Amino acid sequence: MTLLSVQDLAVARAGVPVLQGVGFALEPGRALVLRGPNGIGKTTLLRTVAGLQPPLAGHVEAAPDSVTYAAHSDGVKSTLTVAENLTFWAQVFGTDAVATAMARMNLRDLADRRAANLSAGQKRRLGLARLLVSGRAVWVMDEPTASLDVDSVQLFGAVVRDLLAAGGAALIATHIDLGLEAEVLDLTPFKARKVSQGGVRSAFDEAFT
């Protein structure tokens, strides 16, 4: 059984193709780390996988309602408290894992603090706790550990390991080492080529010729 499979995917940002020919499959219990220099197209790829934008070519296959996405920005409401933020997402996803999520991400002391009064790292931990309350099996994460300190990175590693042990899967774009035993996919070879060199055409190009 494959939780997420991507075949011959080409993605575009603002209409410009950035990656093409990307393919991989995530089995339960596996994590895949995406690497590549700044601007190669990791964010664009993840947004496509999460279903936020359509692929230029190729397919993304995942069980319905199995994927959850964590972006650069955390979707944290600064006027709500930590507990209120998490409770909201738990209700949206229909789970009741707020207390355990706070315990796991070391947020218990901050439960009644308004999110506006969190430090950058604390806010990030809250953003990651949201993944825990989603109850989903496939986590798609964009630089999840930006501005986390060493202890929190380890905490996060442990959480992801638990997800994998429970039969989930993770797709992570990151520049730093997470201490996870995961496959690594370097995106550099998949950089979109010019049309003359076998690159994908956008719908407009297609129509034009």
Partner 1 sequence: MSIWEYANPKKFMQTTGFLLPWVSGLAGLTLAVGLIWGYFFTPDADKFASTVKIIYLHVPAAMMAISAWTMMLVTSLIWLIRRHHVSALAAKAAAPVGLVFTVIGLVTGAIWGQPMWGTWWAWDPRLTAFLILALFYLGYIALWAAVENPDTAADLTSVLAIVGSVFAFLSRYAVLFWNQGLHQGASLSLDKEENVADVYWFPLLVCITGFVLLFVALVLARTRTEIRARRLQALIARERVA
Partner 2 sequence: MIALLIRDLRLAIRAGGGFGLGLAFFLLVAVIVPLGVGPEPATLAKIAPGILWVGALLSCLLSLDRIFALDFEDGSLDLLATSPVPMEGAVAVKALAHWLVTGLPLVLAAPVLGVLLNLPVQGYLWLVISLALGTPALSIIGAFGAALTVGLKRGGLLMSLLVLPLYMPTLIFGAEVVKRGAAGMAVGTPLALLAAITAGALALLPFAAAAAIRVNLR
Does 48 interact with its own copies (rule: CB under 8 A)? Answer: no
**Which class for 201: exposed (0-12), middle (13-18), buried (19 or more C-beta within 10 A)?**
middle
Binding test (CB under 8 A) with its own copies, winner from 117, 166, 186, 203: 117
Binding test (CB under 6 A) with ligand ATP, winner from 28, 121, 135, 157: 121
Question: Cα dist. 157→31, 40, 75, 178 in Å?
Answer: 11, 25, 21, 6
From the list partner 2, partner 1, Mg ion, none, pick the one residue 84 interacts with, judged by a Cβ distance below 5 to 8 Å according to partner type.
Answer: partner 2
Binding site for Mg ion (CB under 5 A): 43, 119-120
Choices 112-120, 128-136, 137-145, 156-164; region in contact with partner 1 by CB under 8 A: 112-120
Binding test (CB under 8 A) with partner 1, winner from 146, 165, 176, 195: 195
**Rounded distance, CA 179 to CA 195, Å?**
39
Site string for ligand ATP, 1-40 (x = CB under 6 A): ------------xx-x-x-----------------x-xxx
Does 150 interact with ligand ATP (rule: CB under 6 A)? Answer: no
Residues between 5 and 44 that touch partner 1 (CB under 8 A): 14-18
Binding site for partner 2 (CB under 8 A): 47, 50-54, 65, 67-69, 71-80, 84, 87-89, 91-94, 130, 134
